[in-house]
Structure 1
Amino acid sequence: MTTFHYTDRPSPFSAAGAAAKIVYAVTPAEIEQGTLDARALAWAKSAGFTGEAGACLLVPGEGDEIACALFGLGANPSEAPFIGGKLSKLLPAGDWQLKTGALTPEQAALGFGLGSYGFSRYKSDKRKDVRLTIAAGADAADIERQLAGVFLARDLVNTPTNEMGPAELEAAFRALGEHYGATVTAIVGDDLIKENFPLVHTVGRASVSAPRLLEMRWGQKGDPRITLVGKGVCFDTGGLDIKGAGNMALMKKDMGGAANVMGLALMIMDAGLKVDLQVIVPAVENSISGNAFRPGDIYRSRKGLTVQIDNTDAEGRLILADALAYADENPPELLVDMATLTGAARVALGAELAPYFTDDETLSSRLAEAAKAETDPMWRLPLWMGYDKDIRARAADLTNSPSGGMAGAITAALFLKRFVTATKSWVHFDIYAWVTADKPHAPVGGEAFAIRALYKVIRDMAAK
């Protein structure tokens, strides 16, 4: 079975047997010590090329031909293992082979592949076709599936809401599941009330695109059960507590949690991991109309806990509450939820680190090890029970928006924790799902956070 690709884009890698020019990836020390081909070294020195990180120099050959290229890794290549992503933008079209002793074959290929991404669905100009040969020893199939998972997440987040509302997200979800032979179901509109998902219905009922609960099942019963839950708020106006224009501008990315778990699910299914996989996405649009939910309303959740609405812009935790309660009714061995949940998480850790919360020390250690091994950064924040009192409401069991404005990422995680009572191993990721400034391996736009590291953790679980 071929790897699922959400959009048609050429592979960033060369076909087998393609004739490829060489790119020598070098450090300043290698330039100074003269360890390069003599002709390339002479050209580098005449051009003032020093091996600075991200610098690229084409070396002429006979006539109008290019003999090779030089690419700078900087003095500390280990600090930027995916810097090779810049090559897809700097090299002329064609097939290239990267030679370096400083980067592993996997780092070189994955970095180049990640950097080759561009979201050009709505642009008329064409990208140049620069391809890299994957070096011997690298697992080409696994690199391709990781890229496909990341690109799926990026594409879904980057697509504007007029083409990625709840119905369109369901279509993408179904296409992914059907490609791998998974069972996909959806509970839509007023059926959410009948099936006891009242908070999902409450948040999404004001939109012209009906709210829905999406579920995918794949794998064999008896294998380790893995459940992934992703926040699918396709656009967030803030509801009646409406956001300002500046804060609303990027709210197409508020389904970034759903996009990320779908990208992770792609990797798991494509690798054929021996797991019993469940993916749950509550998909809604938080809109404004005459039937929008209001500040001061109180609703009963799937779990039976009542929630007082103190801010309609704290809607993500509401739909996750029902989804997590559903997942927890048949406890998996690992429950992962991902959501673009709080601005407080961004204040705490910025836009590049994925904050996570868990009470499982063993799982936390595995996540930290995988994050380091895969260069997929994340950082643990505490489920500090001293703040649990802040999520209590006077007229209901819980408030969706504690007063005071402090420790917002923690209180949101504690809110979710109330709906996970049977599952022993649960982790909540409060991700940004967006790149704010171009990186060698990622342009500005939608981004996958922590899913390559999670893929490694789940792959290791499946192998035991």
Structure 2
Amino acid sequence: MTPFQHIHRSSFFAPAGTVTKSVTAVTPADLEGGTLPPDAADWVKASGFKADAGSVLVVPGQGGSISRVLFGLGSDRAESPFLSGRLAKLLPPGDWSIDAEGIAADHLALGFGLGSYSFAKYKSEKPRDARLVVSGDADAMDIERQLAGVLLARDLINTPTNDMGPDNLEAAFRALGEHYGALVSSIVGDDLLEKNFPLIHTVGRASAVAPRLLEMRWGKKGNPRITLVGKGVCFDTGGLDIKTATGMALMKKDMGGAANVMGLALMIMDAGLPVDLTVLVPAVENSISSNAFRPGDIYKSRKGITVQIDNTDAEGRLVLADALAYADETPPDLLIDMATLTGAARVALGPELAPFFTDDEDLAGKLLLAAKEAADPVWRMPLWMGYDKDLRTRAADITNSPSGGMAGSINAALFLKRFVTASPSWIHFDIYGWNPSEKPHAPVGGEAFAIRALYRVIRDRAQAGK
């Protein structure tokens, strides 16, 4: 199975012009208003259907056929723009079209596609075969492109570490680049020391699978330069500061930043945006062995900043530091990093909002607008320089884990900021990478955060030549 099974996947959508059965979206007010045909109205009454959000009622026709399907929107149509994801799970097999006044056609189609997803690589179950004809008001190719990026990120995160270690992540990374004709390279093992990526090597050296820095280049020189950096910690034991069993349970998702930037890169390349794109992924496993790095150790980073290790479980910022310093040596017009970095970010905003940090006011404003339009929620967090002093330590330039336990996500962002000094526009995302409860458009499991909003921002910038 390649990582691109979802690119322009026809099993989710039926071709335009396909003869379909009809889904009619209704609210409780519609039922009370008496607008349904008599046969449907009688069945609604007999079934007790109330048009609750996400509910489905199949209205039978003659001879056991389906006359129509009613889809409940609840009282607030805007409450869940991707409520159509429920249809993907509940509709009988066949090809369908949806009449849902007041819901954008692209949200209907994208919600249906997102809701069709299931991670069945290790199961024998067959996927559902209900398909949707995308309305002519929607951009079907762009919807499929965004869907492909999101589902790639989900697949990569959901895959367990025995099949998604640093070497497997490199294979998926190379497959993505080759699919779009990108140039892909990697620096592996002790070559990281020779090439001056000491922190990436330090974090990953205890694993049986060698650490590596993955690099992808795509696009045309002279176009706006975009660099994406994603944390690729394929499993995080916490190192010698070992996590509890509960804390370790979901650590296959600690490469969620890498998965998300790969999904975003897919969208950019598939759209053929006029950009000069670089993608960097430090891929490691934070494991425990006789050569694991220790609390109290001090290491010199690629940038020359010395870092004291006060917690081996604060490893993500270390691998990102070397990758960001490398990216910053040839400053892009826009530098984006994404990482499942701190539990503090989840305490602050929960599992649904994507926290971001930036000093670029114009970028922040455009991202917030794009996130609202795309129904891809983000929330700006402060790069509060008053806390920068907390990074100082007596024996080295900075610590990777300030004491006190406060402002954890801000301190991590300020740590990374030390390694980005030349790039004019930098934005850092501290994402969760996981959906802990089922939603209409998403099952429990790996999840993409903010990449549809970022895709809009990058697309607009590229088209404006910025």
TM-score, normalising length from structure 1?
0.98
1:123 aligns with 2:117: no
Aligned match of 1:335: 335
- Kept after mapping to 2: 8 A contact 1:4/1:266: no
Per-residue CA deviations over 1:171-221 (Å, capped at 9, x if unaligned) read 000000000000000000000001110000000000011000000000001
Per-residue deviation, 1:4: 4.0
- Kept after mapping to 1: 8 A contact 2:6/2:147: no
Per-residue CA deviations over 1:407-447 (Å, capped at 9, x if unaligned) read 00000000000000001110000000000000000000000
Aligned match of 2:289: 289
Aligned match of 2:190: 190
CA RMSD between the two structures = 1.3
Aligned match of 1:92: 92
Secondary structure of the 2:30 match is: helix
Per-residue CA deviations over 1:369-419 (Å, capped at 9, x if unaligned) read 011000000100100000001111110001000000000000000000000
Q: Distance in 2 between matches of 1:59 and 1:438?
A: 27
The residue type equivalent to 2:147 in the other structure is L
Aligned match of 1:25: 25
Q: Distance in 1 between matches of 2:30 and 2:9?
A: 36
- Kept after mapping to 1: 8 A contact 2:355/2:380: yes
1:279 aligns with 2:279: yes
- Kept after mapping to 1: 8 A contact 2:177/2:184: yes
How many residues are matched?
462
Secondary structure of the 2:312 match is: coil
Q: Distance in 1 between matches of 2:7 and 2:297?
A: 41
Per-residue deviation, 1:35: 2.3
1:299 aligns with 2:299: yes
Per-residue CA deviations over 1:115-143 (Å, capped at 9, x if unaligned) read 00000000112122111110112100000
Map 1:18-97; keep pairs closer than 5 Å.
18-97=18-97
Secondary structure of the 1:242 match is: coil
Aligned match of 1:395: 395
- Kept after mapping to 2: 8 A contact 1:303/1:322: yes
Per-residue deviation, 1:67: 1.1
The residue type equivalent to 1:314 in the other structure is A
Q: Distance in 2 between matches of 1:434 and 1:131?
A: 26
Segments of 4+ in structure 1 off by > 4 A? 6-10
**What is the identity percentage for the equivalent residue pairs of Structure 1 and Structure 2?**
72
Q: Distance in 1 between matches of 2:370 and 2:8?
A: 30
> Structure 1 residues 146, 9: CA separation in 2 closer, same or farther (over 3 Å shift)?
closer
The residue type equivalent to 1:116 in the other structure is S
- Kept after mapping to 2: 8 A contact 1:339/1:431: yes
Map 1:299-318; keep pairs closer than 5 Å.
299-318=299-318
- Kept after mapping to 1: 8 A contact 2:8/2:144: no
1:174 aligns with 2:179: no
Per-residue deviation, 1:37: 3.2
Aligned match of 1:205: 205
Q: Distance in 2 between matches of 1:6 and 1:16?
A: 19
Q: Distance in 2 between matches of 1:206 and 1:295?
A: 14
Q: Distance in 1 between matches of 2:154 and 2:348?
A: 24
The residue type equivalent to 2:39 in the other structure is R
Q: Distance in 1 between matches of 2:332 and 2:73?
A: 43
Of the structure 1 ranges 233-242 and 86-95, higher mean CA displacement relative to structure 2 is found in 86-95
- Kept after mapping to 1: 8 A contact 2:88/2:130: yes
Per-residue CA deviations over 1:289-319 (Å, capped at 9, x if unaligned) read 0111011000000000000000000000000
Q: Distance in 2 between matches of 1:116 and 1:255?
A: 24
Per-residue deviation, 1:52: 1.1
Of the structure 1 ranges 290-299 and 13-22, higher mean CA displacement relative to structure 2 is found in 13-22
Aligned match of 2:164: 164
